[in-house]
């Protein structure tokens, strides 16, 4: 163990020499890494590496706060005003700066405080005896990330991703200091009123962490400085407060470096969907490849020739008409198969869909909420506000038609309140449970995926398994299906998980670029060489990427028996189509992406002609069995002999083939006639199963 000595070292030297404490999102230590690697926002580490930090707020006896302006020579966030001192506890020094869990539990955090004393001396020339360890008060922790896009532009290769320990301290007004010119350009003692004036002056730049701390916490603490420093009134040793950065600090080279190809290959259409949609390529079959499948061309032409859809919604009611119009605009896939449902069910499902789409829009918007607590409150209270108050609306959230949906949500509320009491109870209950689940995950750092398969399954349950539960209950509540459908709720959950896992696997790059990935770490870390999820997007790691992809596809395929068992129970033909078509599209997507390297350069789509043909042939159980049989056999035939998951993949495919073989034969004449009779209502479902 040695003593830290920064004399004669440049900012570049510190980046290489200093080892910060690497963390998981729960502030548990997972190792140590130099500042250079931890602060690089590049492909492979789009948010750098999460590490521990501290922010010192130093006050004089008059209650004035000492601000510093970071030096122009600083590599990250130069020329910005911020709190007194911001830096990192380091690993490997004699006066330990590494805190144990018990140090946090009692609020003593001696490691962070040792680091604060060291950096106050280095940056500001404040003697250690003027800032004794016992004078610091630990208050709370915040987890944030921020790309330094203000300094380095949208392709910024630098940023901060920290769990920041906030420390307050009050010192004698005669404090002596000598700022280090390579660290600090200026210092200033300010009152709260003076600081507000500075922050309102657009000529001043501010660090993103300081803005978050001031807006969320420090103002109240400053106004009650004695209580903040000398009592435990504001100390919080339990919670980690999580924040998305201001809009100008999102992005960075870790994102833009991966989407340069996408910018050329995809049209970014802000009217369609927030997040990374349109920023990565959509990979689909070319015209020649499509024309080589004559049967699919025939199926597509059949759709085109059949004309208008049937619509069982009441178009005379203005609120229902709005819902019908919005359904067609925001679903991109489900509109036709919902509208063709029996009249006593169609309106209920439209409302259910639009309510959950509104909830999903709040969850997906990564730019509208500077304070994540606002988003969490909206999600957890959506069922109590949007479904109760006919005047409720939400402005400035989402993009395109989703934004319009939330701005004019009162029409959805009105139709919801006109439904039967049973349907209202189902929709409200699912909205409540889904909102709570979404809130749990928006507070997590998902830059590197979910932490485990358990978390992955739990997320899929919240956002899709609950949909299966709600749909089943609506089928029964409206009398379309019998009570026996409620006896095995795990089957409905599996239906939802099968769809959601397919989407998550296919959308690897899109989700990664958006900063919210869902591939589980206990799976992908088995295959990764660098320990970073983003490496799979790089060509040199392609073999490892495919092995991980194939394991996740295999995990999804294990749900097939439950999905088939659920569909065996459906009796109403329109409800059957409504349930069956997404499932067939899902297994077709899994067959398309299995062992397919294109997953790591864009979003892979199945051929539209193939989608049309599957819809034509999925009108009953025999039809979907035929497709599941064929597609599972196709995956099994392509399993690489050396794939680490080869035996398991072969096994789950065999189970699917065995389950579907008795009815997995060529279409008979009677079945074809049954399917073609109601096919016109399914045109838009040819594009079904887009996330």
Pairing of strands 184-190, 159-170: unpaired
State both tokens at 213.
């701390």
Strand, helix or coil for residue 684: helix
Other beta carbons within 10 Å of 177: 18
**Coil, helix or strand at residue 134:** helix
- Asked if 152 and 136 count as a contact pair (C-beta separation under 8 A), the reply is no
Which of these is catalytic: 165, 352, 578, 689? 578
Neighbours of 644 (CB within 10 A): 15
Q: Which residue has the tokens 């339990």?
A: 238
Question: How far is 559 from 487, CA to CA, in rounded Å?
Answer: 18
Distance between alpha carbon 70 and the CA centroid of its chain, in Å? Answer: 33
Distance CA 113, CA 133 (A): 6
Q: Which residues, at least 6 apart from 140, have a Cβ–Cβ distance to it below 8 Å?
A: 166, 217, 234, 235, 236, 239, 241
Please give the span between the terminal C-alpha atoms of the chain, in angstroms, as a whole number: 53
Pairing of strands 51-59, 29-34: unpaired
Catalytic residue from among 59, 334, 409, 459: 459
State both tokens at 313: 């919604």
Of 588, 598, 507, nearest to 273 by C-alpha is: 507
Residues in contact with 657: Cβ distance below 8 Å, sequence separation at least 6, in sequence order: 629, 632, 633, 636, 664
Instruction: From the candidates 118, 506, 601, 607, give the one annotated as an active-site residue.
Output: 506
Q: Which two tokens stand for residue 432?
A: 């409540």
Q: Distance (Å, rounded) from C-alpha 245 to C-alpha 207?
A: 11
CB 675 within 8 A of CB 299: no
The answer to whether residue 243 is catalytic is no
The closest alpha carbon to 471, from 584, 337, 623, belongs to 337
**Which residue reads 């001043």 in tokens?**
204
Contact 76, 148 (CB under 8 A): yes
Q: Which residue of the set 357, 516, 577, 607 is catalytic?
A: 516
- Give which of 518, 529, 513, 530 is closest to 601, Cα–Cα: 513
Question: Is 459 one of the catalytic residues?
Answer: yes
Report the catalytic residues.
Answer: 459, 506, 516, 578
């Amino acid at each position: 163990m040695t003593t830290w000595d920064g004399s004669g070292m440049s900012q570049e030297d510190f980046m290489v020499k200093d080892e910060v404490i690497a963390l998981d999102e729960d502030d548990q230590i997972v190792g140590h890494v130099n500042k250079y690697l931890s602060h690089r926002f590049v492909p492979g580490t789009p948010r750098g590496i999460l590490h521990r930090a501290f922010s010192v707020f130093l006050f004089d006896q008059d209650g004035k706060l000492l601000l510093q302006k970071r030096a122009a020579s600083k590599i990250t966030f130069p020329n910005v005003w911020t709190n007194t001192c911001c830096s990192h506890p380091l690993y490997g020094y004699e006066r330990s700066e590494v805190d144990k869990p018990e140090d946090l539990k009692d609020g003593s955090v001696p490691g962070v405080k040792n680091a604060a004393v060291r950096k106050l001396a280095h940056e500001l020339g404040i003697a250690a005896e003027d800032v004794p360890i016992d004078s610091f008060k630990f208050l709370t922790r915040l987890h944030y990330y921020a790309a330094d896009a203000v300094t380095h532009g949208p392709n910024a290769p630098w940023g901060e991703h920290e769990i920041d320990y906030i420390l307050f301290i009050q010192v004698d007004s005669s404090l002596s200091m000598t700022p280090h010119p390579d660290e600090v350009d200026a210092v200033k003692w300010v009152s709260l009123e003076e600081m507000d004036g500075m922050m309102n002056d657009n000529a001043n730049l501010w660090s993103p962490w300081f803005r978050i701390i001031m807006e969320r916490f420090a103002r109240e603490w400053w106004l009650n400085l004695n209580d903040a420093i000398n009592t435990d009134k504001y100390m919080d040793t339990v919670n980690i407060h999580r924040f998305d950065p201001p809009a100008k600090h999102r992005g960075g080279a870790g994102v833009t470096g991966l989407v340069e190809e996408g910018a050329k290959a995809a049209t970014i259409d802000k009217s369609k969907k927030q997040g990374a949609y349109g920023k990565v390529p959509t990979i689909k079959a070319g015209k020649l490849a499509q024309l080589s499948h004559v049967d699919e061309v025939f199926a597509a032409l059949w759709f085109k020739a059949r004309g208008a859809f049937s619509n069982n919604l009441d178009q005379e009611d203005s609120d229902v008409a709005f819902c019908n119009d919005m359904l067609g605009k925001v679903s991109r896939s489900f509109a036709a198969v919902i509208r063709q449902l029996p009249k006593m069910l169609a309106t209920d499902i439209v409302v259910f869909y639009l309510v959950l789409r509104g909830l999903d829009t709040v969850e997906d918007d990564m730019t509208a909420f500077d304070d994540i607590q606002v988003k969490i409150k909206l999600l957890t209270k959506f069922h109590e506000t949007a479904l109760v108050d006919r005047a409720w609306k939400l402005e400035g959230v989402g993009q395109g038609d989703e934004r319009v949906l939330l701005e004019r949500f009162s029409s959805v509320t009105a139709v919801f309140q006109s439904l039967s009491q049973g349907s209202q109870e189902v929709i409200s209950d699912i909205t409540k449970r889904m909102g709570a689940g979404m809130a749990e995950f928006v507070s997590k750092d998902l830059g590197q995926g979910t932490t485990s398969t358990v978390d992955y399954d739990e997320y899929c349950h919240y956002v899709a398994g609950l949909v299966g539960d709600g749909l089943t209950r609506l089928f029964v509540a409206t009398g379309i299906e019998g009570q026996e459908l409620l006896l095995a709720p795990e089957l409905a959950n599996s239906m939802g998980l099968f769809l959601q896992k397919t989407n998550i696997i296919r959308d690897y790059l899109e989700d990664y670029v958006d900063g919210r990935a869902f591939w589980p770490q206990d799976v992908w870390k088995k295959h990764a060489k660098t320990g970073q999820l983003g490496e799979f997007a790089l060509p040199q790691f392609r073999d490892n990427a495919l092995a991980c992809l194939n394991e996740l596809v295999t995990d999804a395929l294990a749900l097939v028996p439950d999905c088939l068992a659920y569909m065996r129970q459906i009796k109403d033909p329109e409800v059957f189509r409504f349930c069956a078509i997404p499932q067939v599209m899902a297994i077709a997507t899994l067959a398309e992406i299995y062992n397919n390297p294109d997953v790591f350069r864009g979003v892979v789509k199945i051929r539209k002609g193939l989608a049309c043909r599957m819809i034509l042939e999925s009108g009953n159980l025999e039809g979907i069995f035929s497709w599941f049989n064929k597609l599972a056999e196709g995956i099994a035939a392509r399993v690489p002999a050396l794939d680490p998951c080869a035996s398991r993949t072969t096994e789950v495919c065999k189970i699917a083939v065995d389950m579907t073989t008795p009815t997995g034969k060529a279409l008979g004449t009677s079945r074809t006639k049954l399917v073609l009779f109601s096919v016109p209502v399914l045109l838009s479902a040819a594009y079904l199963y887009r996330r």
